[in-house]
Chains A and B, each alone.
Chain A
Amino acid sequence: GENVEQHPSTLSVQEGDSAVIKCTYSDSASNYFPWYKQELGKRPQLIIDIRSNVGEKKDQRIAVTLNKTAKHFSLHITETQPEDSAVYFCAASRNSGYALNFGKGTSLLVTP
């Protein structure tokens, strides 16, 4: 089955700096890659997603890039703010409506 690896497991940045989280996947048939943000004690929230026919997608301070050949995708957060502190999960799926295979998460801490 699909195996999603996520790095780093923890990331600490200063407010205003950029943060990058990287994921790799094993199933070449995967074509949907969402990112979720989970604050302590809360539900995972979809923050951005990308499909395999697109190489990059941006939404304000958040961007995701996808390299299908290398089977990796990354989340980029610019101008980080303390409220960006949370656990971020990447996931991969053969179809957006089907099983999501999650990475183990990255705990991001943004210090003022």
Chain B
Amino acid sequence: DAGVTQSPTHLIKTRGQQVTLRCSPKSGHDTVSWYQQALGQGPQFIFQYYEEEERQRGNFPDRFSGHQFPNYSSELNVNALLLGDSALYLCASSSSSRGNEQFFGPGTRLTVL
């Protein structure tokens, strides 16, 4: 049983570009949450998707958007990249019917130059 997977592992972009990160949840999970983890900090909640809808959103600008597909996988899109967007982007999945504990993927390391 595969756990949460994310792609790509690393990504380098320049300011102003756009990026798409992908997440496949753990088998049996239907909810996907995205977090941004700056170096030396705790993860910060970006948003959560359930039933293909954004259910909850943290304090991030509209440049951050997402999507959830019918197979529960999810994408995080960031437009007009800023240097400050450089971080580890973590996806976490959970099951709405089984405890709701969130399990994290390995993350995508985004560097904006």
List A residues at the B interface (Cβ < 8 Å): 1, 4, 6, 34, 36, 42-46, 49, 89, 91, 95-105
Min C-beta distance of A38 to chain B, whole Å: 9
Residues of chain B at interface, number, CB under 8 A = 28
CB neighbours of B48 from chain A (8 A): 98-99
Q: DSSP majority for the A interface?
A: loop
Task: Give every chain A residue within 8 A of B35 (Cβ-Cβ).
Answer: 100
Residues of A near B90 (CB, < 8 A) are: 43-44
CB contacts under 8 Å to A, within B52-68, are: 55-56, 58-59
- The reply to whether A96 and B100 contact each other, CB–CB distance below 8 Å, is yes
* A102 pairs with B42, CB closer than 8 A: yes
Q: Residue of A at shortest CB range from B45?
A: A99
Which residues B74-96 have CB closer than 8 A to chain A? Answer: 90, 92, 94, 96
A97/B94 contact (C-beta < 8 A), A34-B101, A42-B106, A44-B104 known: yes
- Inter-chain contact B104/A45, CB cutoff 8 Å: yes
Q: Which residues of A contact B70 (CB under 8 A)?
A: none
